[in-house]
Amino acid sequence: MHTHHSYKASDLIVPQPTRIEDREGSFRLHPRIAIAAEKGFEEVHRFALELFGCKAGGEDILFKYQPDMQQEAYILTISKVQIVIKASTDEGAFRGLSTVRKLALLSGNQLPCCKVEDQPEFVWRGFMIDCSRHQFTPKFLKKLIDVASLFHLNRFHWHLTDDQGWRIPLDGWPKLESIASKRKELNYSDGRTYGRLYSKEEILDVQEYAHKRHIVVVPEIETPGHASALLAAYPEFGCTGGPYETQDRWGIFDEVMCAGSDEVIDFLSDAISQIAELFSDPYIHIGGDECPHTAWEECPRCQARMKQQGLTDARFLQSWMTSKVCEMVHKAGKRPIGWDEVLEGTEQLGLPKDLIVMSWRGLEGGLEASRRGHEVIMCPNTAGCYFDYKHQDSEEEMGNLGVSTLRQVAGFSCTPDSMDAQTRANVLGSQGNLWTEKVTTSRQAEYLLFPRLMLLAQQLWKKEDAEKLLQKRPILIKLCDMLDIACYRGE
């Protein structure tokens, strides 16, 4: 990489910081420099030593404690002789280190002098990858987590169960591995299968890797729809008793968990208890999307459940199920998140107030949830947050179902100007979602994610003018090249 003396720090940093002052000169990063840290920054100190291959001791790079700063805030000063990162938490210090790392990658280790004061606008800045439809290796997931952390993202939503495969290991449920984790590949006539469970060791390894980069891991278990894989393994959990199969087709299927089955409730209680033990972060995503109620309307057990609960319509069973699953999540010491369909069929029973609603079908679900007092994550497929969509409307372009242009992502706001202050206060942030029906390899996933995820990261850290942000596209592509990421290079 050639040195770029002409670049200022403000030209290179994405997300653009809250405040940045360009200064004369540069600091040369090389293996002979030493890194020191004040008490409390041991973890980020170790990470920096490993990252730059430097030694501990001297204060060429210094992590310094500064009281009364926000959780993720940092102050970065790069002079010709020293780099100082001030923060009040290890997390803030790590964000500062990530900014240094980006500058080092882009400047050939000749970092332009500057002073940066920085902190995020939104607490929830994430990405979701669907590992049910196509399963990605822990090695690749760690690569994505590392790049996400470089852009100050702090949530990894791990979609682990769906119609096409169950990926979470649970003690006492052996058919999840033998049946639910595998699907017959219908494109072949020789009976070959696709998929497996992740091992507990793999999940813990990915989680530890994320935590070192201050990223929270959010596992998702789909309830009560998108359950074909689970029903194939345990047909007694369905309304008809089967036969069911782990799907090798894409879409929405009428076979869902039986809302009248006590066995389903027992299974979910045990599953959520085990998931809560395996995943140490505060959240469990309970799904809730795209659940047809057809089977419930015909099922004697579901009808009996409705009578027992005094429900007058089968669709009200959705909110009954949601409330039951939320109870399990609470009992396990976690907080539930659900897709915006959890708002439907709630006229009789309502919803637990601490359920976070993830609005994907436009902004409307989020607005409604916020009006009802729920905290909200805005990730509308209509406004650029679905990264399985094509980059542009072209037959030559890979992608599925829709179009999500760079310009659309760069202009995204999860709190648009039309939103009132009370609604805005309930918006935690957003995330980019990658569904993988048509994404079979890690290189395809990279191409669809980048640089869109980088643009979204900017708007979640600090809102930026879309045109100004799009001018950073060459910088983002260069970073992708430095990080060995296949990215979209068009406009």
Tokens of 442: 């890690």
Tokens of 380: 């509308």
Fill in the amino acid letter for 249: R
SS3 73: coil
Fill in the amino acid letter for 330: H
Give the per-residue pLDDT at 111: 97
**Whole-angstrom distance, CA of residue 49 vs CA of residue 3:** 23
- Going along the chain from its start, the domains and CATH numbers come out as 9-118 (3.30.379.10), 124-482 (3.20.20.80)
- When pLDDT is averaged across residues 40-62 and rounded to a whole number, the result is 95
* Active-site residue, selected from the candidate residues 162, 220, 222, 255: 162
Give the per-residue pLDDT at 121: 97
Give the per-residue pLDDT at 4: 45
- Evaluated on CA atoms 203, 143, 59, 17, the torsion sign reads negative
226 given a catalytic annotation: yes
Compute CA distances 448 → 212, 409, 444, whole Å. 26, 13, 6
- When pLDDT is averaged across residues 52-79 and rounded to a whole number, the result is 96
* Active-site residue, selected from the candidate residues 290, 313, 368, 481: 290
Which tens digit of pLDDT belongs to each residue from 234-272?
Answer: 999 999 999 999 999 999 999 999 999 999 999 999 999
- Average per-residue pLDDT in the chain? 96
Give the per-residue pLDDT at 378: 97
Give the per-residue pLDDT at 36: 97
Which tens digit of pLDDT belongs to each residue from 192-239?
Answer: 999 999 999 999 999 999 999 999 999 999 999 999 999 999 999 999
Residue 448 binned pLDDT confidence (cut-offs 50, 70, 90): very high
SS3 137: coil
Give the per-residue pLDDT at 382: 92
Half-sphere exposure at residue 474, Cβ-oriented, CA atoms within 13 angstroms = 3
Which tens digit of pLDDT belongs to each residue from 91-124?
Answer: 999 999 999 999 999 999 999 999 999 999 999 9
For 344-478, strand residue ranges (E) read 356-359, 376-378, 427-434
CA-wise closest residue to 338 among 324, 353, 359, 317? 359
CA-wise closest residue to 182 among 169, 170, 192, 171? 192
Give the per-residue pLDDT at 7: 85
SS3 254: coil
**Whole-angstrom distance, CA of residue 114 vs CA of residue 133:** 45
The alpha-helical segments, DSSP class H, found in 332-434 are 364-371, 406-410, 421-425
In percent, the amount of the chain with pLDDT more than 70 equals: 99
**Strands 110-118 vs 19-28: parallel, antiparallel or unpaired:** antiparallel
| Neighbour count for residue 140 (Cβ, 10 Å) | 16
Give the per-residue pLDDT at 2: 45
- Evaluated on CA atoms 253, 200, 177, 329, the torsion sign reads negative
290 given a catalytic annotation: yes
Facing residues of 182 across strands? none
Terminal Cα distance for the chain, rounded? 24
- When pLDDT is averaged across residues 169-182 and rounded to a whole number, the result is 98
Which tens digit of pLDDT belongs to each residue from 396-446?
Answer: 999 999 999 999 999 999 998 888 998 999 999 999 999 999 999 999 999
134 given a catalytic annotation: no
* Active-site residue, selected from the candidate residues 134, 226, 285, 374: 226
